[in-house]
Amino acid sequence: MSKPRNISFRVLVDTLQKGQFDSAYLISGEEETLTRKSEELIVQALLTNEEKLFNLLTVYGSNPEGLKESLTALPVFADRRVTVVREAQHIKDFDLTAVINFLDNPPTDACLILRTGKIDARRAFYKKIKGKITNVECSMPKGSALTKWIMDSLKDYDKSIEQKAVERLLSVNWPNLGDLQSELEKLSLVVGDRKEIGIDDVEELGGGSFAFTWWKLSDAIGSGNMTEAASTLSNLMYWNVRKPHQLVNDVFRLYLQMWIIKWHIVKKKTNEAREIVGLPDFVFRKYIEFARKRSIEELENALIRIKESDFNIKQGLRSPEIEINLLISELGNLAG
């Protein structure tokens, strides 16, 4: 067993495959698909289905009945006993004391898994376990890590995918892995008995996907087609699949990436921009085209205006729906 540390989901997978386990894991982060998968992988690595019957307890932090007893119990006909606490940030009083005692003197025949959302370092729970437990950080993967996740996920459907199709999927600003997983499942069904998913399959299915509609909005804004941007925004608002403040964040990310690329173009260091923004080649080439059409001053003014929109929405100074529509209109004027 190693010392407590911060690791990614991918590192967790690699260490489990090597047969390396820690006595306690804090699975944290807002990416629910990965937090759930992390729990499943750890339990599967430590216990067989038969062993789970007598050696696995799963409780919730707000009602951890049996937690203290499970942390001190011996495994039954198994090498280890596993205790899982979901929404563990709600553990308190004597149950939290029992958890701390376990972390201070971890047994070799037991494993404790604490699942939480995003870490709030101000909470007493996190302060007391800090440095005592291996933290599996579950955030939305990017770049090559997301590519590998797509490849691995498609193996479950006995499918592969061509590189251009992967790049097209990576060009979408997916809000979470759950939505992307749903898209992969639909693609696997669309191709039928065919083993490989191609770019045409992605494009055909993308027409009815809300995630692709979000991408279409960014593409329209980036290319300066504000008429199409306004139409796409209206569609998103009608279906209420993306909140105004989320759309503002999306637009800010787009303009920040364009500003970074433009700055490097001016400095004749375009290749360095590729590493900084971390975009797949398909998207990076398109963003270079977007950035070349704009000046540094225009992009900086746009970033200031987007931050104002974020402030106006958060402070309730203007209706979120009115603010996002006004923002898109004014960004068009800046490009004019």
Show the domains of the chain with their CATH numbers. 6-137 (3.40.50.300), 143-206 (1.10.8.60), 213-335 (1.20.272.10)
List, for residues 211-256, the tens digit of each pLDDT value: 677 777 888 888 888 888 888 888 777 766 678 888 898 899 889 9
Residues of the chain with pLDDT under 50: none
pLDDT of residue 68: 94
SS3 (DSSP) at 192: coil
Tell me if 88 sits within 8 A of 25, measured CB to CB: no
pLDDT of residue 8: 92
**pTM score:** 0.68
Look up tokens 């998207």; give the residue: 283
Tell me if 205 sits within 8 A of 220, measured CB to CB: no
Using alpha carbons, select from 125, 57, 123 the residue that is nearest to residue 91: 125
List, for residues 26-58, the tens digit of each pLDDT value: 999 989 999 999 999 999 999 999 999 999 999
Q: Per this entry, what is the length of the chain?
A: 336
Number of H helices, E strands in the chain: 17, 8
* CA-derived radius of gyration, the chain: 24
